[in-house]
Structures are given as C-alpha cells and as structure tokens.
Structure 1
Amino acid sequence: MADRESRLERASGRVLTVPNLLSILRLLLVPLFLWLMLGPEADGWALVVLAVSGVTDFLDGWLARKLDQTSPLGQLLDPVADRLYILAVVVGLALRDVIPWPVALALPLRDLLMWGLVPLLRTRGYSALPVHFLGKAATFNLLYAFPLLLLGEGDGTVATLALVFGWAFAAWGIGLYWWAGLLYAWQVRTLLATVERAPRRKGSGRD
C-alpha cells in the first residue's frame, strides 16, 4: 500500500509525460498559427495547424487516462492551452475579417469573467471548480468551428458548406461557452453563500 502511494506521488510530480508534451506542443503552435494567418496568409498551413491542435487536444486527455499519466501540471497546461488557442484563433480570424469583432470579443470577455471569479474562490479556500461538461462541449464545438470558418474563405461548394457548418458550430460553441461561464458563476455564488471564509495563512496578509 505504501509503495503504491509512493508511486502515485511520484507520478503526480512528473513533468515530461506524453500528455504534457502534447499540451506544450499545442502552446507552441499558437504563435505559429498567428504568423501563418497574418504574415504570409498561408491558410492551408494554418488549417493544418488547427487540425493538429484539435487532435492533440483530444489525445492529451485520452493518453493521460490511458497511460495513467495525469499530473497537476497537465491539469493546468490543458485549459491554458485551450484558452490561448481559442484567443489566438479568434484574434487571427477577426484581423482577417473572417469573423466580426463582436463575435471575437465574446469569447475573451467570458474568460475575463472566469478570471474575475478566482479571487472570490480563494476566499473559500478553492483555486478552481471542476470543469463542467458544458465547457468541454463548448470547446469541442469551437475546435470544429474555426477550421471550417477558415476553409469557408475559399470558393466553391465545399467552401460554402464549410461556412454554413462553421457558423453553426460557432453559434453553439459561443452559446455553450457563455452558458458554462454563467453556471460557473452561479456555483461560485452558491459557494460564497454556503461555505465559510477560509482562514488566512500566517504572513499572507496584513495584520
């Protein structure tokens, strides 16, 4: 039993696991995507980067469970990579006039709401709440929407279909993204009303 607990503790501290490396790869692809979109406007390669980002987003979670390589770093890297990926894509698409700015701003504004709730959570001894299914569904829809909207910039039947399906996924994704955010805010409100304020650690605040 002690040996098993020791192995679990070592596993939790691992950094260079396959899932973590995939998350790091996804982070490194963010500036590459922006350069492809705004520099040479190489939409084909930008689509490849989006596809790789989408595949790695699925694989890192699946492999973490399959290989028993979950870690605190991985739990941090995965959502950070998702947020930066979404932010980079909406900014790139907006600067290229693929999507209107109100649509592009709707997603980072929701993230600002989430960040604003973190100090409130910390007053109750929490750093975050469990990821809700709605948030995962929203990310799933957006991961499909962005490549389709970019593909829809072309000509022909395929581009037209891509544009239609891209906006359908985008509408669902943005709606679910905000729904998940508002649900999260309600959970924080409930937590504040039902859980006592966590005691301050010594030296962490003013006397």
Structure 2
Amino acid sequence: MLNLPNLLTVCRFLLIPVYITVFESGYMKTSFLVLLAAGLTDVLDGYIARKRKLVTQLGSMLDPLADKSMMITVILSLVFSGMISWEAAVAMFLRDAGMIVGSAIFHFRGKRTVPANAMGKLTTVLYYIAILLIIFQLPYAHVYLWFVIIVSFITSFIYIYQFNSINREKSSLRTKSDKSFHKEL
C-alpha cells in the first residue's frame, strides 16, 4: 500500500543516485546535504505514519531497508574516497547488510519484523554526526565513528532480542489457540 509515508520512503531510495552523483562530482558538503534530505524524509515518514495511523507492514520493512541502503551507499563512497578505513567500512557494512538480509528473510517467511525504534533512530543520528565529522575532516572523527559502530551493534542485538520476543509471543498464542481447538474436538 503506497500511502504518503511509504512514498516518502521511496523518495529516500531515489535520493541514493542523487547522493552518488553529487559525491562523485566532488561536492562533499553538498552530498552531506542530500544525506540530510534523506534523513528528513525518514523523520517525516515515521511521524506521519504514527500520527495518521498509516503504519503498514510494507512500510515497516521498506523504512529500514531505505535507511540501510543509503548508509551502505555512504559507507562505500567514504571508503573508496579514502575518508574512512576498510575496517570501519566492513564493520558498518556487515551490520547493515545483516539487518537488511535478516529482515527480508524473516518477512518473507511470515515472521513479524520489528519496526524502527528509538535506539535504531538514535543510531542513525549518531551515524549522521559521524559522517558530518568525517566529511568536514574534524578532529576525532574516526574515534567517534568507531564509537558509533559499537553502538550500532548493540542496537542490532536489541532488535534481535525484540524480534525473538514478538515472534515467540506470536508462536505461543498460535500454540494456545491450537490446543484449545483440539480440546473442543
């Protein structure tokens, strides 16, 4: 269902090639503004979805996919330009790719996915700050980036715990209803 929040999420996907074009043209600071525009669509789609009760399963899956896709694009642009180390890029990539693949697998298996939560949003903001520090070549940018990478892995473990909890709860409810059905027979 393509409601307004989901359309904003699609816009975030469309900003990825814009970011690449601007970054590759050497306009680093402008590319950060494109990233901020993508971040703004993220904030808006979440706000509108909750405020107008337009939260959908599709949106719950596409929103983090759009976020992760943009972040992977940014990571690759920063590593290929030599602005961040390969080690940092691999750590960030593994975390984001794992979240994308895991969410997709579980979604298509009929498992409930965990919508973005406060920790996930905080991690995204921290990454934006790290990218700002790196692009503007500010002191301690790389130390801060590693701090954010650690926070992102902690956030991933929280998501995994929440995912297991909601799906265990769903499975438990299904088992209880199956048992009561068999009792009635």
Number of residues paired by the alignment? 172
Which sits farther off after the overlay, 67-76 or 180-189? 180-189
Cα distance, 1:106 vs structure 2: 0.7
Unaligned runs of 5+ in 2: 176-185
Cα distance, 1:174 vs structure 2: 1.1
TM-score (norm 2): 0.74
> Paired residue for 2:155, among 165, 172, 180?
180
1:61 is matched with 46
Quote the RMSD (CA, aligned, Å).
3.1
TM alignment of 1:141-180, pairs within 5 A: 141-152=126-137, 160=138, 163-164=139-140, 166-167=141-142, 169-180=144-155
Higher radius of gyration, 1 or 2: 1
The share of aligned pairs that are identical, in percent, is 27
- State how far apart, in whole Å, the 2-side matches of 1:118 and 1:74 are: 13
Q: Secondary structure at the match of 1:63?
A: helix
Q: Structure 1's 193 and 16: CA in aligned 2 closer, same or farther, altered over 3 A?
A: closer
TM alignment of 1:15-164, pairs within 5 A: 15-17=2-4, 19-38=5-24, 40-114=25-99, 115-116=101-102, 126-152=111-137, 160=138, 163-164=139-140
Return the letter of the residue paired with 2:12: R
Q: Secondary structure at the match of 2:69?
A: helix
- State how far apart, in whole Å, the 2-side matches of 1:193 and 1:126 are: 10
TM-score (norm 1): 0.67
Question: Contact 2:95–2:153 at 8 Å: present in 1 too?
Answer: yes
Return the letter of the residue paired with 1:144: I
Cα distance, 1:93 vs structure 2: 0.5
Which sits farther off after the overlay, 83-92 or 143-152? 143-152
Unaligned runs of 5+ in 1: 1-12, 153-159, 200-207
Which structure shows the bigger proportion of residues in helix conformation? 2
